[in-house]
Structure 1
Amino acid sequence: MVAGKPSKLVFDDFLEKSEYWKYRVDNYAGFELGNSVLRLWMGPTEALYYSNAELSDGAFDELPWSRAVFEAKIRMSGLHYGSAGWGFWNHTMVFQTCMPMWFIHLQSRGPYPFQGFFAQVRNHFAPIKVYRGSLLPYSVATRLLGGLPGVVVHTHKPSMQHLDLTQWHVYRVEWGASEVRFYVDGVLAARLPNKGYESRARADIWIDNAVFGYNPRDAGQVYRHLTQENRSRTFLEVDYVKVYQE
């Protein structure tokens, strides 16, 4: 059930489907509810088309949260090609105003620097688990260039390399005035600066078949979906979500 007002407290343990949330589905994706667990699923997916299941509590200029705390108990059934994540987002992909503050899984078949599980605040990343390769050259280059390539990778060393995303964990995002802190099962996994453009945001959980591309010459000045093929269905399971302002 959902309790409280959006500006103060929301808690949902998914005993039943709540009208509080927005349930977005694109192409080969959907939702299942049972045994007090909400399951977002995606796949099988075609490589050229975007598929997505997304749970959120706001859109565009109806964004209920500012300087809040997001907590959820989540597990994934597998590490698919595409992305999945949970935390806060202000519902825009425009370069200058996109403001994610979330945990994010990213994996692609082709060349792509972010293959792993990360904490992200705007274009700032901190690795929690790396699937393959090394982030050392990206971390050094992006910090020396001050984010000119579109991102800043704060370290190449993952903070929880042995984290198993297919097991239940409690994830927590604390949105502060000067920094955002990320916890897994009560242990600090990352801290990133909260600097620059800031707006209100929504709580957001999703699973899709895309990683995200940055091209400074993009006509729309937005991060684009780089879609992936998946040959099987993948689930993101949510036991509960709690969002509140301290």
Structure 2
Amino acid sequence: MINRRCVVVSGILFSLFAMTGCQTWQTAYEDDYNYPTAKPFNAKFNTWFWREDATGTHVFNYIDTPGNAGPDKKGCFADAPCVKLTAPVYAQSGNTKPPYINAEMYNNSCARQGPGHPDKQPYDRLLDPVNPLLQSITFIQPAEMHANIKKYCDLPYPYRPVEGVAKQGPFAEDSWNTTTKTNIAHNYLALIADKEALWKWYRDIGFNNIYLANDAVSSRIVANVRADGTGGGSRGWGYWNTTMNPLVMQFAWFMEVTTEKKPPSSGFDNNVWMMTVRGGSSLDFCLTPLSPEKYSIYDWHQYSVEWTSKSVQYFVDDVLVADHRKYIPDIGLAFHNWVDNRNYGKYGPPNYALKTPKTNLINQFAVYEQKPTGQQSLSPVSVNGTTCGSVPFDKDINEIEKLIKMIIEAYE
């Protein structure tokens, strides 16, 4: 493992600084999740889309630590509150199978023309017949599409329909993002593969994949996260292009996969990997296990993913824990943070019946960008335990459950 801490002393030392292997990053976005319940509301709230499946929940301005936050922010304080994503215990009746329970956050796709977007956005152009968001959805009229997206994006979120009535969110007046960067990518499976409530269908037509790494720019996300609850399921945080189609799926994230042990053994295996995946004609991936003894996700840590055109590097508390040089993502991605009860292993039910809630806490999030100035050729870095592979798959596969299973089986 490699510890890397860099401090810029002055502009005069920039050349020497770049030659030492450190890189300079410019802040592109930062959120401390402090969302007031009275006006003026925090405008940054509308940079997120909060999704809840079944009984998944979000709690805002969550506090579990007395006093004020220190420099390391190891807790949820009054002046540095958390967002709490939870897959709760779900009370079942009879022998019914457990539903999929999921809570997640990713970049808001309800974007329209505004102070930060001088040009019309895809949702402003829904009545335009050449709008790419309509190219494969021929069974819905543009006027109907426009009306429904406006209906659901005009409502503040998070909200869940309760007895047919949308529960109003107290932190925003609507769901539209008019200030932060956007890159709305069409989700071809939104109205075909997803079987969700209409308000999710329509807002899933396009995903906001705003981050990119290529020869002109690199991207870095940094988040303070602590997990709670060890029941079966998965959780993670990092980059994803938020699609269920493996032909175009790409991600670079920290992911915990909790699976039942092979019978006659009992109990769970809790594995955390740094995963870099790029779909296409085959499933290409690199995996590196994260040591639970050294970096328990049930303690507060700062997680960072640095994505360039040449590599994806993963850091925990500024320590390099994975360095992937193959199958680098090459399209726009979004930030994604989730927790659920899904089983991706060979054994056990598709969804676990949780005995205790599974939660992710996050109290700070930042995005940085780096231009070519200051970058240099990457030197080889040795991080033990990385496996890279390529797995062919049936082009009809359209579920992330099957895709993750294939990755795990190939790794094993």
TM range, smaller chain? 0.7 to 0.9
Q: 1:204 aligns with which of 327, 336, 347?
A: 336
Q: 2:321 aligns with which of 171, 185, 189?
A: 189
1:93 maps to 244
Superposed displacement of residue 44, structure 1? 0.7
Rounded to whole Å, the distance in 2 between the matches of 1:162 and 1:151 is 28
Rounded to whole Å, the distance in 2 between the matches of 1:38 and 1:114 is 27
Report whether the alignment pairs 1:119 with 2:274.
yes
Matched residue SS, 2:354: coil
1:15 maps to 34
Q: Once the two structures are superposed, what CA deviation does each residue of 1:147-174 show, in whole Å capped at 9, x if it has no partner?
A: x8x565656x755643221111000000
Contact 1:121–1:193 (CA under 8 A) maintained in structure 2: no
Matched residue SS, 1:210: coil
Superposed displacement of residue 96, structure 1? 2.2
Rounded to whole Å, the distance in 1 between the matches of 2:270 and 2:254 is 13
Higher relative contact order (CA 8 A, sep 6+): 1
Q: 2:59 aligns with which of 32, 35, 38?
A: 32
1:177 maps to 309
Contact 1:57–1:63 (CA under 8 A) maintained in structure 2: yes
Which structure has the bigger radius of gyration?
2
Report whether the alignment pairs 1:245 with 2:369.
yes
Change in CA separation of 1:199 and 1:27 when aligned onto 2, cut-off 3 Å: same
Change in CA separation of 1:158 and 1:94 when aligned onto 2, cut-off 3 Å: same
Structure 2, unaligned runs of 5 or more: 1-25, 36-41, 62-77, 110-183, 186-207, 214-218, 263-267, 371-412
Change in CA separation of 1:21 and 1:194 when aligned onto 2, cut-off 3 Å: farther
Contact 2:102–2:339 (CA under 8 A) maintained in structure 1: yes
1:42 maps to 87
Q: Once the two structures are superposed, what CA deviation does each residue of 1:159-210 show, in whole Å capped at 9, x if it has no partner?
A: 5643221111000000111210000000011112342663211111111111
Contact 1:43–1:233 (CA under 8 A) maintained in structure 2: yes
Superposed displacement of residue 241, structure 1? 0.7
Contact 2:274–2:290 (CA under 8 A) maintained in structure 1: no
Letter in 1 for 2:351: T
Q: 1:234 aligns with which of 358, 372, 387?
A: 358
Indicate the larger mover: 66-75 or 229-238. Answer: 229-238
Structure 1, unaligned runs of 5 or more: 1-6, 125-147, 215-224
Change in CA separation of 1:205 and 1:158 when aligned onto 2, cut-off 3 Å: closer
Report whether the alignment pairs 1:104 with 2:255.
yes
Contact 2:28–2:369 (CA under 8 A) maintained in structure 1: yes
Matched residue SS, 1:48: coil
| TM-score normalised according to structure 1 size | 0.73
Matched residue SS, 1:19: helix
Change in CA separation of 1:233 and 1:196 when aligned onto 2, cut-off 3 Å: closer
CA RMSD of aligned residues (A): 3.1
Rounded to whole Å, the distance in 1 between the matches of 2:285 and 2:318 is 26
Matched residue SS, 2:355: coil
Rounded to whole Å, the distance in 1 between the matches of 2:306 and 2:234 is 22
2:65 maps to none
Change in CA separation of 1:200 and 1:77 when aligned onto 2, cut-off 3 Å: same
Contact 2:274–2:322 (CA under 8 A) maintained in structure 1: yes
Contact 2:304–2:315 (CA under 8 A) maintained in structure 1: yes
Indicate the larger mover: 83-92 or 191-200. Answer: 191-200
2:103 maps to 53
1:129 maps to none
Change in CA separation of 1:114 and 1:49 when aligned onto 2, cut-off 3 Å: same
Indicate the larger mover: 34-43 or 175-184. Answer: 34-43
Change in CA separation of 1:191 and 1:77 when aligned onto 2, cut-off 3 Å: same
Matched residue SS, 2:332: coil
Equivalent residues, number: 205
Letter in 1 for 2:53: D
Letter in 2 for 1:172: S
Contact 2:228–2:298 (CA under 8 A) maintained in structure 1: yes
Rounded to whole Å, the distance in 2 between the matches of 1:57 and 1:177 is 22
1:222 maps to none
Q: Higher strand fraction: Structure 1 or Structure 2?
A: 1
Change in CA separation of 1:8 and 1:199 when aligned onto 2, cut-off 3 Å: farther
